[in-house]
């Protein structure tokens, strides 16, 4: 008689607070990599959506997404379009992974739940999902016995960009953790690969909330107290849970590895070879994407001749490449990066030299809860934007002190309100919004609305918006 398998029931916790600075100019603070489609094996889903999608078929009792408050509408829209339910917890500022994990465990405890929580990053890629699921079953069994279980990736080459886990004695289908090792140099990494008992540290783990909170009490009690205060001071805001700003900023900024995993005696590791990548730099982005017969990854309008093993990505114009090898060329609307792939880790150092530049944090295209706008041209007294409004969305009722606006509808249908008067605009229709006029714009159709906005005035900053009403709860 075949024994029945223990049900694989867990609570998923997806952390989405990273910036991905090594992937600049693709990934920036205002639009990080997890909210983008970067891996071409799934053209429809962003990395965040792929993270949730690969959990389908597993029994989840609760899902939590922890993200920066500036990305709340972006995250919510991507979950909505995926058909994914999740509690969205908003961090007022970045505090690394330990506070996020502890707060997620505290919330599950408040809901009287102690099913193992599966903690994942929103910006990783996994090519072999069935093998990933098999490893989760082994990890779940260990977590039910009170272990903190991390997934260790079987290394395929001597990588210097990942941390490593040294395996100890066997524990069921895993191993005790002998030690965690920081990112090594090339010689040390090759030694780990040759030894055969080292795994890449994926940062994915599964643990019962009661266990991780008991370890937090023993190993980082101050942080646990700070996290409790931040959660107790949280407030509901539309569909979001806002952590207390005053309390959360007191939380120590520390990774879960440093705070707990490297100190606990309960850590075990389950090996898995599932085609995992953290897609943390340009070289790993090249590795996870499909390559042509010359080893090139080409995305966008790209023509390459006599070039090999290159990452070539064009966002807004033709990119023509001749006689290049082992390089990345990333073209966006406002910045271009050219770098050797074997120096991908050093992009972060390059980014540090850009402090104060607008291109460091913001793309030219800016996303809002109602859609997006792209600033296509500007001068001393004017600015031209291309505005896209999602179906069923509306901008706030607002007015401007310093600028007037002229709207021209390019595609779709716009409901416009100006100083008490309603207007219906279709393609090629236009309207003038005088300085100081109370106005709003809505798309009440099932199709996207696109228009061109021409601003004129003495000051054209985004802070010249006085919101009088807003369905998204913005100030």
Out of 2.160.10.10, 2.70.98.40, 2.60.120.10, 3.30.365.10, the CATH code matching 365-469 is: 2.60.120.10
Instruction: Tell me what pLDDT residue 467 has.
Output: 95
pLDDT level of residue 2 (50, 70, 90 thresholds)? very low
What lies within 8 Å, CB to CB, of 461 at 6+ separation is none
Mean pLDDT computed over every residue of the chain? 94
> Of all residues in the chain, what percent carry a pLDDT higher than 90?
87
Report the alpha-carbon distance of residue 385 to residue 106 in Å, rounded. Answer: 44
Report the alpha-carbon distance of residue 466 to residue 475 in Å, rounded. Answer: 9
**Tokens representing residue 471 in the block:** 């369905």
pLDDT of 138-180, one tens digit each? 999 999 999 999 999 999 999 888 999 999 999 999 999 999 9
Residue 99: which of 68, 135, 122 has the closest Cα?
68
Q: For residues 97-128, b (16+ Cβ closer than 10 Å) or e, as one string?
A: bbbbbbbbbbbbeeeebebbbbbbbbbbbbee
Q: Both ends of the chain: CA-CA distance in Å?
A: 64
- What are the sequence ranges of the domains in the chain? 9-277, 282-352, 365-469
Instruction: Tell me what pLDDT residue 41 has.
Output: 67
Instruction: Check whether 247 has a pLDDT greater than 70.
Output: yes
Average pLDDT over residues 326-348: 95
pLDDT of 448-475, one tens digit each? 999 999 999 999 998 999 999 999 888 7
Residue 276: which of 98, 123, 57 has the closest Cα?
123
Structural contact between residues 409 and 446, judged by C-beta atoms closer than 8 angstroms: no
Average pLDDT over residues 111-127: 93
Instruction: Using alpha carbons only, give the angle 337, 343, 346 rounded to the nearest 5 degrees.
Output: 75
Instruction: Tell me what pLDDT residue 42 has.
Output: 60
Instruction: Tell me what pLDDT residue 199 has.
Output: 96
Residue 64: which of 131, 29, 17, 132 has the closest Cα?
17
pLDDT of 44-93, one tens digit each? 899 999 999 999 988 888 899 999 999 999 999 999 989 999 999 999 99
pLDDT level of residue 4 (50, 70, 90 thresholds)? very low
Question: pTM of this prediction?
Answer: 0.90
Chain centroid to Cα 293, Å, comes to 31
Superfamily of domain 9-277, CATH level 4: Spore Coat Polysaccharide Biosynthesis Protein SpsA; Chain A (3.90.550.10)
């Amino acid at each position: 008689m075949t024994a029945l398998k223990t049900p694989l029931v867990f609570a998923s916790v997806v952390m989405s607070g990273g910036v991905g600075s090594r992937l600049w100019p693709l990934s920036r603070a205002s639009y990080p990599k997890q909210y983008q489609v970067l891996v071409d094996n799934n053209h429809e889903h962003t990395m965040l959506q792929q993270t949730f999608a690969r959990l389908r078929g597993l029994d989840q009792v609760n899902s939590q997404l922890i993200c920066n408050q500036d990305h709340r509408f972006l995250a919510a829209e991507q979950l909505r379009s995926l058909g994914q339910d999740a509690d969205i917890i908003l961090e007022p500022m970045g505090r690394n992974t330990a506070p996020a994990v502890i707060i997620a465990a505290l919330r599950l405890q408040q809901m009287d739940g102690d099913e193992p929580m599966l903690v994942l990053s929103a910006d990783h890629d996994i090519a072999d999902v069935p093998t990933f699921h098999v490893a989760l079953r082994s990890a779940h069994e260990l977590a039910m016995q009170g272990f903190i279980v991390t997934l260790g990736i079987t290394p395929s080459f001597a990588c210097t960009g990942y941390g490593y886990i040294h395996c100890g004695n066997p524990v069921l289908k895993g191993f005790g953790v002998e030690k965690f090792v920081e990112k090594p140099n090339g010689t040390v990494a090759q030694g780990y690969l040759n030894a055969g008992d080292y795994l890449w540290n994926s940062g994915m783990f599964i643990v019962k909330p009661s266990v991780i909170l008991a370890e937090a009490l023993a190993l980082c009690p101050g942080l646990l107290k700070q996290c409790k205060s931040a959660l107790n001071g949280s407030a509901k805001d539309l569909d979001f849970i806002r952590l207390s700003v005053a309390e959360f900023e007191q939380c120590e900024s520390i990774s879960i590895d440093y705070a707990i995993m490297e100190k606990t005696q309960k850590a075990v590791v389950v090996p898995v070879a599932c085609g995992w990548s953290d897609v943390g730099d340009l070289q790993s982005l090249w590795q996870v994407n499909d390559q042509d017969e010359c080893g090139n990854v080409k995305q966008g309008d790209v023509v390459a001749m006599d070039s090999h093993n290159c990452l070539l990505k064009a966002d807004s114009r033709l990119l023509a490449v001749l006689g290049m090898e082992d390089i990345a060329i990333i073209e966006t609307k406002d910045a271009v990066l050219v770098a050797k792939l074997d120096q991908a880790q050093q992009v972060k150092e390059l980014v540090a030299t850009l402090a104060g530049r607008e291109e460091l944090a913001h793309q030219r295209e800016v996303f809002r809860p109602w859609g997006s706008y792209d600033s296509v041209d500007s001068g001393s007294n004017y600015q031209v934007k291309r505005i896209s409004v999602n179906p069923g969305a509306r901008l706030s009722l607002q007015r401007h002190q310093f600028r007037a606006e002229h709207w021209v509808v390019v595609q779709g249908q716009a409901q416009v309100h100006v100083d008490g008067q309603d207007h219906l605009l279709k393609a090629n229709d236009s309207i003038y919004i005088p300085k100081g006029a109370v106005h709003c714009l809505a798309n009440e159709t099932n199709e996207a609305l696109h228009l061109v906005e021409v601003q004129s005035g003495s000051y054209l900053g985004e802070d010249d918006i006085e919101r009088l009403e807003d369905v998204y709860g913005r100030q």
